[in-house]
Each structure stands twice: as C-alpha cells, then as structure tokens.
Structure 1
Amino acid sequence: MRPPGTRLVAVLSAGALSGAFLTGCGEERRTAPEPRVLLGANAQNRRQIEEREADAGRRLPGVRVFRRWDEPLLGPDMEWARSGKRALFVSVKARRKDGAVIRWRDIADARRGEPLHDDVLAQARELKAFGGTVHLVFNHEPEARPSRPMGSAADYVAAWRRVVRVHRKEGVTNVRYVWTVTHLAFGRNGGREAEAYYPGDDYVDAIGVDAYNWYTCLSRDTPWLSLRELIEPHRRFGLRHPGKPLMVLEWASAEDKAVSGRKAAWIREAAALFRLPDYRGYTALLYWDDRHAPDASHIRCDLDYRSSPSALEAWREMVAGAPYRAP
C-alpha cells in the first residue's frame, strides 16, 4: 500500500503486507520514498487486542498469536481481527496443550493417514478456509533451549519443508511463511547457526527475528544493547537472501533501574532506526510484553512497554508517528 502524496502510514492490512512479498524486498526499496513498517504486538484474543489498542490510543495494524500443535489456529477472534484490517502472525509450536513434545522428524516423516500428517492437513484446510492472509511461523526459535527436545537443525528443516509442501498440495495460497529465530542465532559462529536452521528460500517468504535487550535481568554481565546492535546480524543475513522481507516478530527491552528514562530512550531510538535507508528491508515490528504471553510466568524482566510511564509515552509516540501510524 502506498500512502497518498508524501504522508507516511503503516502497512495496514494483511493484503497490503502480502504485497511486499509479491513484489520482493528489493523492489520495495526502489519504489518507496520512505520505509513502510507494520507495527503491532502480541495478543492472544480479542480482549487482549482491545487492551493493547487502548494502551496505544489507536488501532494496531499487526497482531501476533501463539498456538500449540493441537489448538485451533484462528477462530472467531482472529476473524474479528481480520475484519478490522489487522495483519495476523500465527506461531505454531510443536508442543501439545498438555506440554508433550512433538519431534520434528516425526512431522517430517509422517505418512498420509497417520495422526501427525492428518494434523498438518487439518491446519492447512483451516488456513485455506480462513481466506485472508496469514503470516505463519512454524516453531519459532527452534534453536533455543525450549525447542531442543524436538530435534536437530536438519530435523527442523525437514519438518518445515513438509508443512509447506502439504499446504501447497492442498492449494493454500493465502499463507506467508515467516521463518523466525532469536537474534543470538544470527550472531553465533558468523551466522552459521541460523543458516543450519534455514529451510531455504523456496520455502520461506520472510525472515524474522526475536530480539531482546535483557540487560541485567537474566545475567548481571549482559550489557545494555540497542535494537540496532541486536538485529545487525539479522540484517546482514537478509542481505544474503535478497528479495526476502525482514521482520522483527518480538522485540522489547528491560528497564535500567539505575537510569530513569533509559528504556524510553531505547524505544525512541528503535522508532528512528527504521527510517534509515539501510533498514528499508524491514516490513514489520511486533512488540512483546509479558502480560499477553501464553506462558508469561517464567520470565519477569519488565519487558512490557507499561513498565514505566516514560516507556509507555515513548511507545505511544512511536505508534502515532511515521512510518508506523495507522489512520
């Protein structure tokens, strides 16, 4: 979607965002005078979406939801979200509601008529019937510790490709596949860890990253890092895969309890970052918060933008400003 005149607006809808996939990241750089970035946040249902938008003071164009393997992917709340021209990002974990792990190799090797194959088939049909564009993330952060029981990098790649092939065979054309790992994977060993988990350009529509400024929340030795520092390896990875839009599907910062307003400044710096020419390949930013995480009890790092009045003010400024603002 191009804004009229010189006014900058966010990419507003799933259809508009899918246009970035169809034309390719390189073309977007050539034709857009300014970056166009879809801004959103994680929220699992209509109530949470409405809470997030009340915080922001306006509609958020993007919503990220998290589902377990044996849960419905969409449903009435996501239909409502779509009707409001919100782009949907659905992450599906290879883990059941009871916590049981599903091994990636078992998904990859499942034969027609076997339960896991039937699960993938049912998901494909649900997505196809939904009609509107869905940005699908199969097992985000596969290299992170919670995913290690699910298998190796090769197993993950095989499972990802199997899911995509089944979808294609079923005639699913409204799904965009967003491969997503942590910012650490892009930085380790010159990015070789990320490459090991990458399913290949033929199976991926966009390259995502989850990036956090943990500061001293998890370890006293962790330095304060800007979003620019966190995602630089991701940006370089994207340059090796031209034509693939880049997305930050989780991003947030802890507070610095010794320096008032430091997190607010961090958010403002992030807002300014994607106006720069080198970052025009980025098409989506989805903020993370502890309140609306599906398993929010395991980490408490003041990641929420409401962790301080100054952080909330900075978030509201970002949502209202170019190139993020939705009319």
Structure 2
Amino acid sequence: MTPPDKRRHALPTARLSASRWVLIGLVGALVAVAGIYAYNSSGWQVPGAQRPVVPGGDGTATSCTPTLKLVPPCGAWWGMHVPADSGGGLMPDVAAMEKKIGRKLDITISYHDMSDSDAGRFFRDDESEIGNDRILFLGWESTIWQDNLNIAWRDIAAGHYDQAISDQAERVRKYGKPVLVGFDGEKDRDESGQNPAEYIAAYKRIVDGFRNAGATNALWVWGVTGYYPFRDRWKAYYPGDSYVDWISYDPYNFAICRGAEWQNFEQTVQPTYEWFQQNGFADKPLMLAEYGTESHKSDTSARANWYLDIPKVMKTMPNLKAIVQWNNTDADHCNFSLTGPGVLDAFAKAGKDPYFQQPMVRQSTG
C-alpha cells in the first residue's frame, strides 16, 4: 500500500480503479474524566486572528462545552488534513496553515501503518505537541507501507497482532488525553477480497484490546466512503453501537478530475447525511473525516463558492459535528488542495463563522 498522501478515493460512478483498500475512517473511545479545563479565546489566537465568541449567550464555554464524547452541542469542529511538507515534523506545517487561515484547527489527522517503525508508532514526531490544544486523529491502517504488505483482518481477529494492539494501546493510555484512533475506514470500497464479518471481528479485537489495556481515552469512530451508490453495503460492516461513538464518511466533489457532474457542497454531503439519519444511525454524531472539491471546468469562482457555502449548509445538518478538509492531491491526481482563485480565502472565511467557533476543552484521566 502506498502512504496515505497517495491514497485514492471512492469514485463518483460505479467504476472503481484497481487499488488497495485503505484507511480513511477512524476509530477511538473516550473516558470519563477527572478534570475539564476550558480554553478561552486568548488560548486560541494565532497572529492576526481572533476567535469569535461561541453561540450560547454569555461568551463562556459553559453552555457549549463538548460532551464526554467530544460532541460540540452548539456547532461543529473545523479540521484539516495538513500534509507534512517542511521535513521538520508536522507542527510547523500545521502552524503555517493556521496562520494562513487566521485560526486554530480543531482537529488534525495523521496516518499510521501497523509496523513498529516511526511510520506505525502513535504520537510520531510532534503529534503530542499538536494535541496540546487540538483534537488528534490517529489513522491506523492494516498494512506495512515499507513492505507493501496488506494485513488480513482475519489474522488481526485471530490474535496474531495482539502485541501491536497492546503496544499502541499503552501509548494511548500514557498519553492520557482523549484521542481519535482510526482503523481501516472506507472498507465499503470492497476491493480487498475480504468480507464484512472479518472486518468486524478485527475491529472488535482492536477496541477490546485497547479497553483491556486501560486505554479508555480512545474515542471510536467508524467510517465509510459516503459514496451514495455504496449505501447498501454500509450496514454489513457496522460493528455495533457499543463499539462506535462517532460515524464518519468522506464526500468529494470530483468534478473535472473524473469528468463528473459538478456538485455544490450541499449536493456532495447531504444525501449520505440523510441516509444515516433515516437508517438507524441518528443517535450517533457524524463527521466528514475527509472532504474537498476539485475545480469547475469553466467557472473559476465555483471552487471558492463551494467552501463559502459550508456554514449555511452545515446549519441544516445539525448532527454533522465535525468536518476535516483533505488538503492534498490523491494517487489519481485529483487535486483537493486549497488552491485556485479565492479558494484559501473562502475556506478561511467559512472557518470563522461562529458555528465553527466551539470551545475546546482539555480532558484528562487524573
């Protein structure tokens, strides 16, 4: 499997390129906490930025404090996958992006394989520093990138990777803060030759391993592509409510990249959102673990307008509680980065809407 920056995404038609199954969905669980420390606006500022007052009345974090499962009651988290470009760890790249958009990111995502190398071990490089005042997503893929090896779900379920699970769980337990840990999302791509029962068994083995090791500061998020024609596949992969705290999906407006019909943000995101609300998942908070848009074939302003629409549309989908923009180019050369006329400015403006100015809290186990 190629590293995550080279991933492919589910296509907007029935055809699929021959690629390996990859992780984009996420996993994690969260513990009851001994202390909650609210961060006010002064703790969130970047040069030239001001964090607006959250909705709720008095400007304090009290009325809008996230739940113990990190669900923000008054709006949604604003996040991004920031590619590591500087070679000096991820923190400089995250800080540079935050300076450009004039605000802190609420969530960042980084990806890991199942090796015991730097590519696999959680809290690689400066992830712990990033997590000081942001929510960490740690994506965990059943593969070893260096060896181009895919690990079978049945082998994980059979206990052959219990040591890897135990090691990662211990790192998460020692970290102490709430953390999102991802395991093999977008499994509905159906390209691995494996079956839903094997996925569920592997997923449960990992979750149970974390819990048995005392890593109860993990919050489990189960994810699918969100590609609407795949909707009949999703329920078969669901491991059950007791193993899932959040549900995620990854909607993309492919547009010129694959000759697809242009879709605005609402058209890209809402059909799958409504499916989850109407098919037994309305009690779970939703997130876009990845999302983005390609360019319009003729309208140079369409890409910027796509991002400008986000606050208005999000307010019509109140159970969508986090969105994470995928600021990168994939293996098929689809470019979802924040480039083009006015695009970065539009994204920055959308992210300053009060709906995305939720109070961050730091929760700890003691």
Which aligned pairs between 1:183-222 and structure 2 lie closer than 5 A? 183-184=226-227, 187-188=228-229, 191-218=231-258, 220=259, 222=260
**Partner Cα separation in structure 2 for residue 261 and residue 50 of structure 1:** 27
The equivalences for 1:273-284 within 5 A come to 273-276=313-316, 279-284=317-322
Confirm or deny that 1:272 pairs with 2:312: yes
On the 8 A contact 2:253/2:293 being kept in 1, the answer is: yes
Cα displacement (A) at 1:164? 0.6
Corresponding residue of 1:86: 134
Task: Provide TM-score, normalisation by structure 2.
Answer: 0.74
Mapped pair 1:229 → 2:267:
yes
Q: Which amino acid aligns with 1:300?
A: H
Are 1:170 and 2:213 an aligned pair? yes
State which drifts further: 87-96 or 239-248: 239-248
Partners of 1:21 and 1:316 in 2: CA distance = 27
- List runs of 5+ in structure 1 lacking aligned partners: 291-295
Structure 1 residues 102 and 8: alpha-carbon distance in aligned structure 2, compared to 1, 3 A threshold: farther
2:335 to 298, 302, 319: 302
Closer, same or farther in 2 for the Cα pair 1:150/1:66, shift >3 Å? farther
Partner of 1:6: 57
User: Which residue number corresponds to residue 293 of structure 1?
Assistant: none
- Between the aligned partners of 2:301 and 2:287, the Cα distance in structure 1 is 26
1:238 to partner: Cα distance: 3.9
Matched, 1:142 2:181: no
Counterparts of 2:324 and 2:206 in 1: how far apart (Å)? 24
Q: 1:259–1:91: structure 2 CA closer, same or farther, 3 Å change rule?
A: same
Please say if 1:261 is aligned against 2:294: no
Q: What is the CA-CA distance between 1:101 and the residue it aligns to?
A: 0.5
Q: Secondary structure at the match of 2:355?
A: coil
Shift of 1:50: 1.5
- Which residue is 1:125 aligned to? 170
Q: How far off is 1:309 after superposition?
A: 3.0
Contact 1:320–1:326 at 8 Å: present in 2 too?
Answer: no
By how many angstroms is 1:20 displaced? Answer: 5.7
Q: Structure 2, unaligned stretches of length 5 or more?
A: 1-37, 39-52, 85-89, 360-366
- Does 2:114 align with 1:69? yes
2:354 aligns with one of 313, 322, 327? 322
Number of aligned residue pairs: 294
Question: Structure 1 residues 227, 195: CA separation in 2 closer, same or farther (over 3 Å shift)?
Answer: farther
The question of 1:37 aligning with 2:76 is answered yes
RMSD: 2.6
Q: Provide Cα deviations, 1:292-325, integer angstroms capped at 9, x if missing partner.
A: xxxx5623223111x2131111101012222113
Counterpart CA distance in 1 for 2:232 and 2:212 is 31
Deviations 1:203-255 (A, max 9, x none): 1010001110001302x2x2112232233223321441232111011010001
Q: Deviations over 1:33-91 (max 9, x none)?
A: xx4111010135212212221221221111111111111121451211122x1011111
Taking structure 1 as reference, are residues 195 and 86 closer, same or farther at Cα in structure 2, changes over 3 Å only?
same
Give, in whole Å, the separation in 2 of the partners of 1:235 and 1:248: 14
Q: Residue 48 of structure 1 corresponds to which residue in structure 2?
A: 93
Superposed CA deviations along residues 99-156 of structure 1, whole A, max 9, x for unmatched, are 211011110112xxx4x110111111111111111112211211226xx337222211
Q: 1:320 to 1:241 in 2, by over 3 A?
A: same
Distance 1:237 1:9 in 2: 32
C-alpha separation in 1, matches of 2:264 and 2:55:
33
Aligned to 2:283: 243
2:187 aligned counterpart, secondary structure:
coil
2:54 and 2:354 in contact (8 A); partners too: no
